[in-house]
Amino acid sequence: MIAPALTWQDRSSVRGEMQADEQTRPRTKRLPRSVRERQILDAAVDVFAAQGFHPASMDEISETAGISKPMIYAYLGSKEELFVACIRREADRLLEAIRGAVGEDLRADQQLWRGLRSFFEYTQEHRSSWAVLHRQALAQGEPFSGELAEWRRQAMELISVLLARATAASDQPMQPEQMQPFAAALVGAGESLVDWWIENPGHTADGMAMRLMNLVWMGFGDLVEGRDWKPE
């Protein structure tokens, strides 16, 4: 490794003190594209979550990622494309977590319970992911809300199928399509509870999931009379 010759960057600047911490970032380290893309996305999710889409500046994302702006444009395109990539990645991750938890072979209420629990666990551990997905994607209109709609569609399908299967043995079996609004309501209730949870910490993910499960499975009608739902 040969020490690089003096480049123009070494010329001392009149305002040198503003560049004090530049040393901490290694210069010109060649990394494979996939690693770079993940660094960028990680930084972008954090910044978008903290600032919101518009206030977030490409400068801040570039500094947070430790990668120069031209690289970001080269790898992930414009700011809008970057934001879409963030939404997609986070949506996939959350869905994957829930799908994995729901499984395939349990009774419907058990599956729902596990899904809800994993949802609360995930959002607790990945605040930024959730903020980007829930708050930002919704507010920025097309084409971003379309990405969110796609996530909701998949989440609702998961739930609709699950609920429809639960009615299969009853005397009023229902189609997944009929369960859609209920699934939508459930998703919204979960989203709202996460927000409430953030402002009222001190509850476990299990506790949160239990509350929601009781509400949607037993209903207020049962709850007010003292009947509640318990995991087995």
Partner DNA sequence: GATGAATGAGACTTCATTCAT
Partner DNA sequence: TATGAATGAAGTCTCATTCAT
Q: What tokens were used for 104?
A: 């395939």
Long-range contacts of 75-82 (CB under 8 A, 24+ apart): 75/33, 75/36, 75/37, 75/40, 76/37, 76/40, 76/41, 80/143, 80/144, 82/40, 82/41, 82/44
**What's the rounded Cα separation, in Å, for the pair 158 and 98?**
9
Q: Is 198 in the site for a second copy (CB under 8 A)?
A: no
- Find the binding residues for a second copy in span 51-70 (CB under 8 A): 51-55
The dihedral over CA atoms of 196, 197, 200, 205, expressed in degrees to the nearest 10, equals 150
Told to check if 73 binds a second copy by CB under 8 A, we report no
Site mask for a second copy (CB under 8 A), range 137-176, x = bound: -xxxx-------x-------------x--xx--xxx----
Give which of a second copy, DNA, none residue 181 binds (C-beta under 5 to 8 Å, depending on kind). Answer: a second copy
Distance from the Cα of residue 103 to its chain's centroid: 20
With CB under 5 to 8 Å by kind, the binding choice for 71 among a second copy, DNA, none is DNA
What residues make contact with a second copy under the rule CB under 8 A?
8, 11-15, 32-34, 37, 51-55, 75, 108-109, 112, 135-136, 138-141, 149, 163, 166-167, 170-172, 180-182, 184-193, 195-197, 199-200, 208, 211-212, 215-226, 229
